[in-house]
Amino acid sequence: MNTIIRREGRVSVVVGWMLVVMAFLALVTFIVLAIVIDAMFLIFLFAPVLLLLGAGVNFWIGSRARLEITPDSFIWCSFVGRARSIAWQDLDRVLVPTPGSRPRLVAAARLKDGSIVEIDAVWSSPTSPANLLGTPDHSPAQRALIDGHRAYLAGASANPGSHGS
């Protein structure tokens, strides 16, 4: 089972390409104005550079922020910081938060050693209009986590020696 939950990733890529187009149009406009009217318009070439930097940031965010379910573990990663990972073999249960919990809390992982690790929706921007206008729907990510754990358990029970149990 390989699944990637990344709601905001597509938006970041679209915004990135829009910024690239805007940067190209601004670059052409300022060069034409500098040639036709006055060379002083070349000073405004910093605007396309800023737009291209913004495009790069959006492409990076779009490719990075995610929740990834693999056969051996699940990985969640924010726009910045290191990726976090939990191996299925270390997981006892996926706990779905009660209604009214923190808006970005997707689930809690209870590990076999008894510790609890909270899984926040770090792949979803807290300033997204969907998050600001209402309670975010984390059910696809919750289902993916629960289904991934079930698939691991089914594979572990079918092949007891192959998963190190």
In a structure prediction context, what are the per-residue pLDDT tens digits for the chain, which is 165 residues long? Answer: 566 666 555 556 677 778 788 888 888 888 888 888 888 877 788 888 888 887 777 666 666 677 888 888 988 887 666 788 999 999 999 999 988 788 878 899 999 999 999 988 776 666 666 666 777 778 888 888 998 899 888 887 777 665 544
pLDDT digits (tens, 9 = 90+) for 65-102: 778 888 889 888 876 667 889 999 999 999 999 887 88
Which tokens belong to 58?
A: 């959006």
Contact 76, 68 (CB under 8 A): yes
Residue pair 163/155 in contact by the 8 Å Cβ criterion:
yes
Contact 121, 66 (CB under 8 A): no
CB 161 within 8 A of CB 109: no
pTM higher than 0.85: no
